[in-house]
Amino acid sequence: MNARALPTRRDEAWRYSDLDALAEVWPSGVVSETIVVPAGERLARTIVADAAQPVSVRDIAVTLADGARLDLHMLNLGGRYGRIALDVTLGDGAHFELGAAQVAGGKTTLEIVTRVRHAAPNATSRQTVRTVLAQQATGTYLGQIVVDRGAQKTDAEQSVKAMLLDRTATANAKPELEIYADDVKCAHGATVGELDATQYFYLTSRGLPPSEAKRLLLQAFLADAYADMEDAEAREGLEAAALAALEQLA
């Protein structure tokens, strides 16, 4: 482990990283985890990375056996630098669901990096990532979907949106498809924007204070990441933590 060289910006997966912060924990401070879901079973997990640890780097390897399903929901808040990297492999008929949100202000750098490999036929994956950035924060999503030869009937989708509250904030988004099968359905989309002026005007014209209108729009934006959660208590916990982070940006 100690022989691992510090990544450089020549590596696409680390192009937008805070390498100075990374050097403080590399490699011994990188948290590695393995999640294995056996054939036909289902698992739901939530991960929250908050400012309690100023520099947080997580590598998570996921293997879904045939017919398995993982519902993974994450909230990346970070301190100075927060990175969560997922490497997911899907078996025949497996399903991977990712809902993730990132909220950052100041000079924080946050990253979600995913590689989802459809290694067998009939597997499905859905990734929904929402990011809100203020001041001089940087938020990144790099997402690669790989469809192996023979992984026919793959159905994969990425939806990535970032909202900038200040023009000095930076959002990076790179959804990527690498497909070696011919009977597949794959889609990805990425947008970076600001608060919808029409919706904001509508709410304030109905008597809501500007700060409350802004809060409601941002709350609804982030809630997209958790809309599919069946555990209402877990969903409310993630949304409450995201809302508390939003209020600190004001």
Note the pLDDT of residue 3: 59
Quick one: what percent of the chain has pLDDT higher than 70?
Answer: 98
135 and 169 Cβ atoms separated by less than 8 Å: yes
Nearest-angstrom CA–CA distance, 133 and 115: 24
Q: What is the mean pLDDT of the chain?
A: 94
Least confident of 45-49, 121-125, 208-212: 208-212
Please, which pLDDT band fits residue 215 given cuts at 50, 70 and 90?
confident
Least confident of 50-59, 88-97, 102-111, 224-233: 50-59
Note the pLDDT of residue 138: 97
Distance of CA 10 to the CA centre of its chain: 22
Q: Model pTM?
A: 0.93
From residue 25, how far is each of 5, 15, 151, 160 by CA, in Å? 12, 18, 38, 28
Beta strand pairing status for 185-193 and 155-164?
parallel
Q: How many residues does the chain have?
A: 250
pLDDT tens, position by position, 132-141: 999 999 999 9
Nearest-angstrom CA–CA distance, 55 and 18: 10
